[in-house]
Structure 1
Amino acid sequence: MTATGTVNKLIGHTDSYYAASANPAPVYPALEGTVEADVCIIGAGYTGLSSALHLAERGYKVVVLEAERVAWGASGRNGGHVGVGQRKGQEDLEKMLGFDTAKQLWDMGVEAVRTVEDLITKHNIQCDMKRGIMHLAAKRSHNEDLKAEVELLNKRYGYDQMEYIGEEEARALVGSERYFGAQVDNGSLHLHPLNYALGLADAAAAAGVQFFEHSRVTSYRGGAPCVVETSAGQVRAKNVVLACNGYLGNLEPRMAGKIMPINNFVLATEPLPEALAHELIANDFALQDTLFVINYWKLSGDNRLIFGGGENYTSRFPQDIRSFVKKYMLEVYPQLADTRIDYGWGGTLAITLNRMPHMGRLEPNVYYSQGYSGHGVPTATFAGKLIAEVVAGTEERFDILAQIPTPTFPGGTLLRWPGLVTGMLYYSLMDKLGS
């Protein structure tokens, strides 16, 4: 697909640090008329981009339809953490699914991070990739859980990239008196999420994928062929991949009740002096804490603090996102009270009740993956790899995830919101109480 032009600051993206520091990106046309394809992918976030790239590398003719711009949604706005494992802990997975399946999921989680790194290396994606994530105990009582998890991963899963450190060392590394210990994981990564997504899109386009932006899908139907409709055109394809996640809307009611869209918010400070940046994060790792509504942060390639904190469960974002997030940042780093906040933005992600990804088939040739619950960079990238496998006829690994039960939110799409808000408010209160 020939692009119509390039821009340095991405037109049509939310006003974020990521958009302001994005690599040049093509502008793709809207779909007009009828296009034929082996696979039509709806959504150009990580799931869609990874699926497209892996399918094209297998020789499939792939069309991607995006309602806005490539990586316009959560894939271009998130914290950029690329953590090993699943969003749910291994001990919980063992209880839920048994050790053998939990071990398979762990191995996939490790492979997911490796897949991200391999794609970045193979396609020379410039996205400020750095190594390491720390998981910080926000309460003294959380230390035992962190220690136990390190021991479990080391002894039962053979994972030797993670260690536990105590309060004094943790506070020295993060420049904050708020935390009581930490897991230090050398096997995880962090990066500029928008530039990573744009790099995947560039690689997919080079492999022959056709992208159409501003091409919102109004309806689709399975069959032979599947037909995907937009306001100005249609794609006739042998297979369809639904890669919409938090932006699924009413497109597919059979999936909608399995996920809940929520909004999360991020700020970026002005560039920090080297000494201050080192004080905040001495090892240049990405950081996240153990609160239910977590805080997460890292340093950008130009030494800005990228800090995520707070969320809401409505269709609206706070009027002043910078101030909304800054109060969470100052609880961790009061020394930044006078630091200028240059950007504040939000994004919509999708969570599931059990915090595991929801993957599967709606029909023999209609596939989907969604509900990454804040673990989307590695998990959605890996989901695209599995979708390419199953379209090509290799089902075993896809089915491991597809067979995990995904509860429907009580009340479905109609009543899921008040139930979720009640639950989230309870856990937010728990975050504020106890030790």
Structure 2
Amino acid sequence: MNLLFANDRRGEYPQSYYAATLAPIERFPALRGEVTADVCIVGAGFTGLSAALHLAEAGLSVIVLEAHRVGFGASGRNGGQVGSGQRLEQDALERMYGLDTARHLWALAEESKALVRDLIWAHDMPCTFKPGIAHACWTDGEVRHSHAQAEKLARDYGYDQIEPLDAAGLAAIIPSGVYKGGDIDRGAGHIHPLNFTVGLARAATAKGARICEGSVVTRVVPGSRPVVETEAGRISCGHVVLACNGYLGGLDRQVAARVMPINNFVIATEPLGERAAEVLGQDVAAHDTKFVVNYWRLSEDKRLLFGGGESYGYRFPDVIKAVRPPMLKVYPDLADVRIDYAWGGTLAITMNRMPCFLRPAENVLSASGYSGHGVALATLAGKILSEAIRGQAGRFDVLSGLNLPRFPGGPAMRWPMLVLAMTWFSLRDRLGI
């Protein structure tokens, strides 16, 4: 079964709050016939569109192939949180890679947030970067850990944007009463992710990139001049960029052995009006310390957008049944609130939760596997891919040299083994272990 079509109608966005508030964007025609380009990019999400924009700005001819619509995948369905750092904490990165590499990874992450903000401003995109992400802890031990991490970042990395919070301080931001404390990161933020992809698409095409929607890639043939085949067309190019993330399918087994698609879900309530103050005391995003993390924020019209729950098969479950219970555990007073939108999406994780940068074949580059931390990092990945294609591969080589492990058993066995592991961690969440 193909994840591109398992849960969605061809060429249509899911019935999400984001799709209902989509900024105007033309439907781009599908690829027809044989064409040539300097670079062919597969996937029109954050990574692919950012790469297209940066390559087109450098004067290269670029074609982006998208099976459905721009931002169709995880880029247009996620929680919109533009987080700090990598998916792993800095002390873990220091142990894994050494202090110098850990510092470099922190600097890249800081650049990635700045890049999102700068692109929104420079290209007058139809979205706003709103500062602030609150981190909510369920246990006293987690609070102590979050405060220690904030202290470490201030001391060792010069990052002073995180304010540690006790239970009362956090309750002023998240008036739920279920958390023991946490912190607020004023250097992070949140956006409307689908409209950010619209902004990237507009910017890329304004610089000369060509986007082809409804163009399912069936085969990539690497070589000195790779060929990309679709259902109705064929591209001969200098380089191929695989920017498919969880929707890679069978296009490349080397990437698939390291990158695992999983599903996550979001619901949007009816507009809450004055009750929105009972959800968030400030216009910030939030997430908590559950292994299967809960994440939320308010929309422009004061809906609660609440994400959580995971599944590991091809088909999505009943999304409301999957996400409403954790929402009510955080906000039990919202039991009477109507759910207006519910949607799922497929993202991609790696074994160690670090992004996967790879050269799987001659003149083929790939970046994916952002493990739920991709709004900023995927956008920067597109810029780094463009640098590598233009002969400035230093940053790409650092990221591709992070010794990303394969999933045990490769693509064939990653599903059942991940299900076993995630079931255990989900049980721990429910038991409060």
TM-score after normalising by structure 1: 0.96
Please state if 1:14 is matched with 2:14.
Answer: yes
Q: Distance in 1 between matches of 2:349 and 2:432?
A: 26
Contact 2:224 / 2:362 at 8 angstroms: preserved in 1? Answer: no
What is the 5 A alignment of 1:341-356?
A: 341-356=339-354
Cross-structure match for 2:3: none
The residue that corresponds to 1:189 in the other structure is 189
- Aligned counterparts of 1:192 and 1:11: Cα–Cα separation in 2: 21
Q: Which residue of 1 aligns with 2:377?
A: 379
Post-superposition offset of 1:251: 0.9
- In structure 2, distance between residues paired with 1:168 and 1:232: 60
What does residue range 80-91 of structure 1 map to in structure 2 within 5 Å?
A: 80-91=80-91
Opposite residue 355 of structure 2, the aligned amino acid is P
2:81 is aligned with 1:104: no
Tell whether the 8 Å contact from 2:120 to 2:128 is kept in structure 1 after alignment. no
Deviation at 1:138, TM superposition (A): 1.9
Counterpart residue number, 1:200: 200
Q: 1:299 maps to which residue?
A: 298
Partners of 1:133 and 1:205 in 2: CA distance: 32
Distance 1:433 1:69 in 2: 40
- What is the CA-CA distance between 1:364 and the residue it aligns to? 4.4
> What is the match of residue 433 of structure 1?
431
1:421 aligns with 2:419: yes
Deviation at 1:129, TM superposition (A): 2.5
Q: Secondary structure at the match of 2:329?
A: helix
Amino acid at match of 1:258: R
Matches within 5 A, 1:393-432: 393-432=391-430
Once the two structures are TM-superposed, the CA of residue 232 in structure 1 deviates from its matched residue by 1.0
* Equivalent residue letter for 2:261: P
Q: What's the counterpart of residue 53 of structure 2?
A: 53
Q: Equivalent residue for 1:114?
A: 114
The 8 Å contact of residues 219 and 230 in structure 2, kept in 1 or not, is answered as yes
1:276 corresponds to which residue?
A: 275
User: What per-residue deviation string (whole Å, max 9, x for no partner) do you get for residues 49-99 of structure 1?
Assistant: 000001101111000001111111111100000001100110100000011
Matched ranges for 1:349-368 at <5 A: 349-368=347-366
> TM-score with structure 2 length normalisation?
0.96
- Give the C-alpha shift of residue 156 in structure 1: 0.5
Post-superposition CA distance 1:149-186 (Å, at most 9, x none) = 00110000000111111011112211101111112100
Query: Would you say the 8 A contact 1:128–1:301 is kept in 2?
Result: no
The Cα offsets for residues 177-219 of structure 1, whole Å up to 9 and x where unpaired, read as 1111112100011011000011100100111111111111110
CA contact (8 A) 1:173 1:279 kept: no
Equivalent position amino acid for 2:411 in 1: T
Amino acid at match of 2:29: P
Q: Which one-letter code corresponds to 2:71 in the other structure?
A: A
User: What is the RMSD of the two structures over their aligned residues, measured on CA atoms?
Assistant: 1.2
Gaps (5+ residues) in structure 1? 1-9
Residue 266 of structure 2 aligns to a residue whose secondary structure is: strand
8 A Cα contact 1:164 1:184, kept in partner: yes
Contact 2:64 / 2:212 at 8 angstroms: preserved in 1?
yes
Q: Give the fraction of aligned pairs with identical amino acids, expressed as a percent.
A: 52
Equivalent residue in structure 2 for 1:370, among 368, 371, 374: 368
Deviation at 1:222, TM superposition (A): 1.4
Answer yes or no: is the 8 Å Cα contact 2:45–2:70 preserved in 1: yes
- Does the C-alpha gap of structure 1 residues 432 and 141 become closer, same or farther in structure 2, counting only changes over 3 Å? farther
1:153 maps onto 2:153 in alignment: yes
**Does structure 2 retain, via aligned residues, the 8 Å contact 1:287–1:296?**
yes
CA distance in 1, matches of 2:209, 2:416: 41
* Partner in structure 1 of residue 6 of structure 2: none
